[in-house]
A and B are shown apart, each in its own frame.
Chain A
Amino acid sequence: MGRDEWDDHMRAALAGDEAAYRRLLADLAGACRGAVRRIYARAGRSELDVEDAVQEILLAVHVKRHTWDPALPFAPWAMAVARYKAIDMLRRRGRATHVDIEDFSDALAAPAAAESERGDAERLMERLNPRARAVVHGMSIEGKSAREVGAQLEMSEGAVRVVLHRALKQLAALYRSSDV
């Protein structure tokens, strides 16, 4: 997918097209992975942390997507979010480094490593309440739909989505306040 296609995908995603949103996030993950790898190499950080960083950026993109103005192109917005989070992650770990806007604007997409090594997401999920954890786990690692998770937890599909929404916002806050 070219970056010029991001706009349409994001507009579709905001209108409720889940498939378009998945494709966009996967594409964005590739672009961020290339950029983060470059930045982490320069900052002397382990290559192993890259996937955790990509996931944190995707979560920030997700919980802040309402701050994108659909009248403007999506790529500069997404890259600004990614750059901010990259700087924030390095600063949290006490490493000052320069992050150029070019790191993100030029980054070539990179394929995913098999899995995040350190598992920040799982570790922070432990701090959600049990029901929220079950919903996030069911919809991510188990790959279930909201309806399936609802059936399993004896909740309506709508209630599952409400729990998921709150859980993701809370997860974003946990990333921010953690020292991971």
Chain B
Amino acid sequence: MKTDDFIKALAGDEAVERGVIERSTLLGLAGAAVVAGLTFYATLGLRAGLTTHAVAVSTAIKICVTAPLAFFGVVAALRLARPGAPHGLALFLLFTPLAVLLLLLGIDFGLHGLADWRARLFGRTSSVCSALIVALSVLPFAALIHGLKNGASENPRLSGFVAGLAAAGVGATIYALHCPEDSALFMAAWYGAAALAMGVAGALAGRLLRW
């Protein structure tokens, strides 16, 4: 076929799916987060004493790490879905949750040094924490990938990695409402492991984002 003829067919198709990446990704993610949240509420439930001051503060601090991971992760994934768009800043901002976590770790070590580090690291729920966060992240992850397939990432593996981190941010934000641990060391290890696992799974699933 002549390329000029091929162009005629392309030009005859006027339907532009404007905004479809953002719309499908965000709506899908919202739906997935609601389902994951309800499942969480029905099974794990909220942490006891969540309305008391101490518990509320501890939970809010955890969400100060997990919510930015979700937010900046989604922003970066959407940015990466547009070819040629500068995404350096978006990827840089993805370090925000890591910076907050390091700050919390610094404060934790500053206050407690190495005393009881084993108890602080493992708490009582280390055996289930990462797995539960991953379980809560699966549906948001699927929704993100489904939405991002409308995009055109130049680096599907990186996009998948970022989507995995973002999904872990959503799952961890939900889980934080249940998590009975208060140590930053615990959070760095087990929330971190879950985020890393989702990131790696995302990178492996990145081929789904090829176009």
Taking Cβ atoms with an 8 Å cutoff, the residues of A that contact B are 14, 16, 18, 21-22, 25-26, 29, 51, 54-55, 58-60, 62, 64-69, 72, 76-81, 83-84, 88, 112, 114-116, 119, 121-122, 136, 139-141, 143, 145-146, 161-162, 164-165, 168, 172, 176
Q: Within residues 1 to 54 of chain B, which ones have a CB less than 8 A from any CB in chain A?
A: 1-21
Q: Within residues 110 to 154 of chain B, which ones have a CB less than 8 A from any CB in chain A?
A: 150-152, 154
Q: Which residues of B contact A121 (CB under 8 A)?
A: 1, 6
The CA of A59 and the CA of B13, in the complex, are separated in Å by: 11
Q: Which residue of B lies closest to A113 (CB)?
A: B3
A62 touching B1, Cβ below 8 Å: no
Supposing A51-B3, A80-B83, A115-B2 touch, asked if A65 and B16 sit within 8 A by C-beta, the answer is yes
B1 touching A69, Cβ below 8 Å: no
Q: Which residues of B contact A77 (CB under 8 A)?
A: 82-85
The CA of A26 and the CA of B16, in the complex, are separated in Å by: 19
CB-CB nearest 7 A-B residue pairs: A80-B83, A80-B84, A76-B84, A140-B9, A77-B84, A64-B152, A140-B5
The CA of A66 and the CA of B19, in the complex, are separated in Å by: 7
Supposing A67-B81, A88-B210 touch, asked if A168 and B2 sit within 8 A by C-beta, the answer is no
B92 on interface, CB distance cutoff 8 Å: no
Taking Cβ atoms with an 8 Å cutoff, the residues of B that contact A are 1-21, 81-85, 150-152, 154, 210-211
For residue B90, give the distance in angstroms from its CB to the closest CB of chain A. Answer: 13
A114 touching B11, Cβ below 8 Å: no
B3 touching A58, Cβ below 8 Å: yes
B211 touching A139, Cβ below 8 Å: no
Q: Which residue of A lies closest to B155 (CB)?
A: A84
A141 touching B83, Cβ below 8 Å: no
Interface of B, helix, strand, loop or mixed by DSSP: loop
Supposing A60-B211, A112-B3 touch, asked if A164 and B151 sit within 8 A by C-beta, the answer is no
Q: Of B11, B12, B85, B210, which contacts A69 at CB under 8 A?
A: B85
B154 touching A140, Cβ below 8 Å: no
Q: Which residues of A contact B17 (CB under 8 A)?
A: 66
The CA of A88 and the CA of B210, in the complex, are separated in Å by: 9
The CA of A176 and the CA of B83, in the complex, are separated in Å by: 18
Q: Which residue of B lies closest to A76 (CB)?
A: B84
Q: Which residue of A lies closest to B14 (CB)?
A: A16
For residue A41, give the distance in angstroms from its CB to the closest CB of chain B. Answer: 19
For residue A52, give the distance in angstroms from its CB to the closest CB of chain B. Answer: 9
A22-B8, A172-B211 known, 20 other contacts, Cβ within 8 Å: A18-B11, A22-B7, A26-B4, A29-B7, A55-B6, A60-B152, A67-B82, A67-B83, A69-B85, A72-B85, A77-B83, A77-B85, A81-B152, A115-B1, A116-B1, A121-B1, A122-B1, A140-B9, A141-B5, A164-B12
B3 touching A29, Cβ below 8 Å: yes
